[in-house]
């Protein structure tokens, strides 16, 4: 066996880059999170205030509200994406003419930049020029105004997210379904299991790792989303779509409350890591059992 030195040499460039552009900024953010600091104020000195920011965060209703909204968003969006994605993946398991073309079309949203997705939906939903509010009003007499109605804004964001990310779920589930061995299914049919039993006792456990991986990726990205939401609703109306990513953005940029913004980031990053770590361990569990 070769020496571990070569291993470290191969890893070195990666570690160096991540250190200079990931770790150092992180240390800086942690440092700032213990200070009261507004770099653009008349008095831009950093004032050390111990754990005050951390104490404040626990009682900060705006922050807690943004966490609540984010959790709600992740739940709604990811569950819908899993259900729709599963149905579509199953539909792709059958042969039909034009399958390749339909699959390509279905993957298109994935490659679109979040900022563009945000602007597309803005173009479609903005009351004065958008096509969707116009026809909803003309055909059904429903008035939808994402600038006024919190429910409309939140729903639009969810629909946008489903539109943007369901293809990822579908692709992942197709990969999982294709790699399933046929034997357990045949065996279950011989034993007289019905469709529902087969789904819950065989399909679900076997595609579970793929599902967890998808949730991992979606959760990780949903918690840091800014572009799309910022473009579409700017976090409003009120705080209806102010997800944590947007909340931090607002705290840092328009309010320039940098010290406190850093504290929120540290907490959010910590929570994200914990949640993702738990998912990661779950994802690995079946594989480790086998070994």
Partner 1 sequence: MKKNNPIIAIVFWSLVSFLTLFPIYWLFVISVKPAVQLFSTPDVMLSDPYWGNYAKVWGDRLLRSYMVNSLVISTGNALLCTILGFFACYALSRFKMAGKESLFFWTITNRMAPPAVFLLPLFLLMTQVYAVGDFRLLDTRIGMILVYCTFNLPFAIWTLRPTLDGIPKELDEAAYVDGASSWKVITEIVFPLCRPGLAVTLILTWVFAWNEYLLAATLTNFNARTLTTGLSEYVTTTGTEWGIMATISVFTLIPALIVFGLVQKHIVAGLTFGAVKG
Within residues 135-154, the interface with partner 1 by CB under 8 A covers 135
Please tell me whether residue 199 binds partner 1 under the rule CB under 8 A: no
- Which residues in the 258-287 window bind partner 1 by CB under 8 A? 258, 261-262, 264-265, 268-269, 272-273, 276-277, 280, 283
**Among the listed residues 69, 78, 226, 240, the single contact to partner 1 using CB under 8 A:** 226
What 3 state SS string does the chain have? CCCHHHHHHHHHHHHHHHHHHHHHHHHHHHHHCCEECCCCCCCCCCEECCCHHHHHHHHCHHHHHHHHHHHHHHHHHHHHHHHHHHHHHHHHCCCCCCHHHHHHHHHHHHHCCHHHHHHHHHHHHCCCCCHHHHHHHHHHCCCCCCCCCHHHHHHHHHHHHHHHHHHHHHHHHHHHHHCCCCHHHHHHHHCCCCHHHHHHHHHHHHHHHHHHHHHHHHHHHHHHCCHHHHHHCCCCCCCCCCCHHHHHHHHHCCCCCHHHHHHHHHHHHHHHHHHHHHHHHHHHHHHHHHC
**Among the listed residues 43, 58, 128, 288, the single contact to partner 1 using CB under 8 A:** 128
- Which residues in the 154-193 window bind partner 1 by CB under 8 A? 163, 167-168, 171-172, 174-176, 178-179
Pick 24 or 151: Cβ nearer partner 1: 24
Please tell me whether residue 22 binds partner 1 under the rule CB under 8 A: yes
Pick 179 or 187: Cβ nearer partner 1: 179
Pick 39 or 147: Cβ nearer partner 1: 39
Q: What is the total count of residues that contact partner 1 (CB under 8 A)? A: 97
């Amino acid at each position: 066996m070769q020496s571990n030195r070569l291993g470290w040499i191969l890893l070195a460039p990666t570690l160096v880059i991540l250190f200079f552009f990931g770790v150092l900024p992180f240390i800086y953010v942690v440092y700032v999170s213990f200070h009261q600091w507004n770099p653009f104020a008349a008095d831009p000195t950093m004032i050390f205030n111990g754990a005050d920011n951390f104490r404040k965060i626990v009682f900060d209703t705006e922050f807690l509200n943004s966490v609540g909204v984010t959790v709600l968003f992740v739940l709604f969006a990811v569950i819908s994406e899993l259900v729709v994605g599963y149905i579509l993946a199953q539909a792709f398991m059958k042969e039909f003419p034009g399958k390749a073309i339909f699959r390509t079309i279905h993957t298109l949203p994935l490659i679109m930049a979040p900022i563009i997705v945000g602007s597309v939906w803005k173009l479609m939903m903005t009351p004065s020029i958008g096509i969707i509010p116009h026809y909803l009003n003309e055909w059904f007499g429903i008035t939808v105004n994402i600038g006024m109605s919190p429910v409309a804004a939140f729903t639009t964001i969810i629909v946008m997210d489903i539109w943007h990310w369901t293809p990822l779920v579908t692709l992942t589930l197709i990969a999982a379904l294709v790699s399933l061995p046929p034997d357990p299914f045949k065996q279950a049919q011989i034993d007289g299991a019905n469709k529902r039993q087969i789904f819950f006792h065989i399909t679900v456990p076997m595609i579970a790792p793929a599902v967890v991986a998808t949730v991992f990726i979606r959760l990780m990205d949903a918690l840091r989303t800014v572009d799309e939401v910022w473009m579409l609703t700017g976090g409003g109306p009120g705080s209806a779509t102010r997800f944590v990513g947007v909340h931090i953005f607002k705290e840092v940029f328009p309010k320039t409350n940098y010290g406190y913004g850093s504290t929120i980031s540290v907490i959010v990053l910590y929570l994200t890591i914990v949640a993702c770590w738990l998912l990661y361990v779950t994802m690995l569990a079946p594989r480790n059992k086998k070994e």
